[in-house]
Amino acid sequence: MNIDKAHALIRDVPDFPKPGIVFKDIAPLLQDATAWKLVTEAMAEAIAAWRPDVLVGIESRGFLFAAPIAYQLGTGLGLVRKPGKLPFNVLRQEYSLEYGTDAIEMHTDAVRRGQRVVVVDDVLATGGTAAACGDLVAQAGGDVVGYAFMIELGFLNGRAKLPTDAPTFSLFDY
């Protein structure tokens, strides 16, 4: 299997979660062991060049990529979750949505001062969550050295919300 065949496993689901949205469903790709391995290896290769100490995965589908990539690269793994889901002391970052605000949290010890951190998620859409995650890493004293996504929805221009001093990688662009 090549990366194009893995890409072809991502299916469009129209009108999910609401009318007018075309959801990129990665379940078929995850169900194919060869495709999932190929995608995580391709992402790991890009991330390795940034020499991270820790990968920070964003709930929940970001965990599916950050965990195997961290294992492959021999880095630590920090988790970023919705409020109230983490059992220890947390840092919290609110961010703007089109209508209102949301928030994410990370354990205070998920990243240590001076560590090189890569933020990992499945999809870069509007960029708000990933940018907020970068802010959490900065609060903890870490240095974001890159952002990595399996999918980028370029038409939403989420990359523009991310800092320009850290590179952004996406495997598949829509």
CB 133 within 8 A of CB 63: no
**% residues pLDDT > 90 (the chain):** 97
Helical spans, DSSP H, in 81-142: 128-140
Contacts of 74 (CB under 8 A, 6+ apart): none
Q: Is the pLDDT of residue 33 over 80?
A: yes
Q: How many domains does the chain have?
A: 1
Contacts of 13 (CB under 8 A, 6+ apart): 22, 23, 25
Catalytic residue numbers, as ranges: 61, 98
Looking from the CA of 60 toward its CB, the CA atoms found within 13 Å total 5
Chain-centroid distance of CA 34 in Å reads: 21
Q: What is the pLDDT of residue 120?
A: 98
How far apart CA 125 and CA 96 sit, in angstroms, is: 14
In DSSP terms, which residues pair with 95 in a beta bridge?
Answer: 102
Q: pTM (2 decimals)? A: 0.96
User: Residue 166 is part of a domain; what is its CATH number?
Assistant: 3.40.50.2020
**What is the mean pLDDT of the segment spanning 142-167?**
97
Chain-centroid distance of CA 24 in Å reads: 15
pLDDT tens digits, one per residue of 95-140: 987 778 999 999 999 999 999 999 999 999 999 999 999 999 999 9
Domain that holds residue 132: 3-173
Instruction: Map tokens 């790709």 to a residue.
Output: 29
Q: Per the structure block, which two tokens stand in for 34?
A: 């060869």
Chain-centroid distance of CA 173 in Å reads: 14
